[in-house]
C-alpha cells in the first residue's frame, strides 16, 4: 500500500469512527434529556458516558484533520506571504512542529493512561485510563497519518 493509500485509509477509518461516535453521542444525549424531563429520572451515566464518547470523537477528528492538513491552514498565509518558497517552508515547519507535538502527546498520554487505568470511573466503573487512552491512540494515528500524507503528496 502506498503512503497516500495509508493516509486515505486512516482518514476514512477515523471519519467513520467519528461519524458513528457522533450518532451514538446524539442518541445518548437525546435519551438523557428524554429520561430527565419526560420520565423524571436521570440515568447514573448521564454525564460520564457522553463525556467519554465526546473525548474519543474529538480525538478521531484530530486524526482526520492532521491527515487532511486542515490544522495548518487558516487561509491567511497566501495573502501575507507571497513567496511560494516561504509558504512551503512555513508548511514544512508547521508539520515538523506538529510531529514533535504528537510524539510528546503520545508519550505523555500513554503515561497518564497507565497512571489512571486502575482508577474506576464513578458511574460506570470503567477504567479511568479509558478516558485518557484517546491521547496516545489518536496522537500515534495522527503522526502516522501526517507522515503518510506528507510522503504521499
pLDDT of residue 73: 65
Q: What does the pLDDT average to over 42-55?
A: 95
Radius of gyration of the chain (CA): 19
| Residue 43: pLDDT over 80 | yes
| Residue 34: pLDDT over 80 | yes
Helix intervals (H) in 38-133 = 48-68, 77-80, 84-116, 129-132
Residue-wise pLDDT tens digits, 101-111: 999 999 999 99
Predicted model pTM? 0.88
Measure the CA–CA gap between 75 and 64, rounded to whole angstroms: 18
Split into its structural domains, the chain has a count of: 1
Which of 106, 110, 123 has its CA nearest to residue 44? 123
Residues of the domain holding 82: 3-152
pLDDT of residue 123: 92
Mean pLDDT lowest for which of 22-36, 68-82, 93-107?
Answer: 68-82
- Strand, coil or helix: what is 66? helix
| Residue 124: pLDDT over 80 | yes
pLDDT-above-70 percentage for the chain? 98
- 1/73: higher pLDDT: 1
Average pLDDT score, the chain: 93
Count CB-CB contacts under 10 A for residue 17: 18
C-alpha cell at 11: 482518514
Measure the CA–CA gap between 18 and 14, rounded to whole angstroms: 6
Distant-in-sequence, close-in-space partners of 49: CB < 8 Å, separation ≥ 6: 28, 123, 124
Amino acid at each position: 500500500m502506498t503512503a497516500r493509500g495509508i493516509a486515505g485509509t486512516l482518514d476514512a477509518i477515523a471519519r467513520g469512527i467519528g461519524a458513528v461516535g457522533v450518532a451514538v453521542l446524539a442518541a445518548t444525549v437525546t435519551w438523557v434529556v428524554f429520561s430527565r424531563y419526560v420520565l423524571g429520572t436521570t440515568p447514573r451515566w448521564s454525564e460520564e458516558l457522553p463525556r467519554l464518547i465526546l473525548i474519543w470523537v474529538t480525538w478521531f477528528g484530530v486524526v482526520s484533520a492532521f491527515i487532511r492538513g486542515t490544522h495548518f491552514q487558516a487561509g491567511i498565509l497566501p495573502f501575507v506571504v507571497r513567496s511560494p518558497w516561504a509558504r512551503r517552508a512555513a508548511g514544512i515547519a508547521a508539520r515538523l512542529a506538529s510531529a514533535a507535538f504528537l510524539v510528546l502527546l503520545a508519550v505523555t498520554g500513554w503515561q497518564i493512561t497507565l497512571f489512571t487505568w486502575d482508577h474506576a470511573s464513578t458511574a460506570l466503573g470503567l477504567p479511568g485510563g479509558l478516558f485518557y487512552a484517546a491521547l496516545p491512540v489518536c496522537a500515534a494515528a495522527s503522526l502516522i497519518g501526517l507522515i503518510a500524507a506528507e510522503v504521499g503528496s
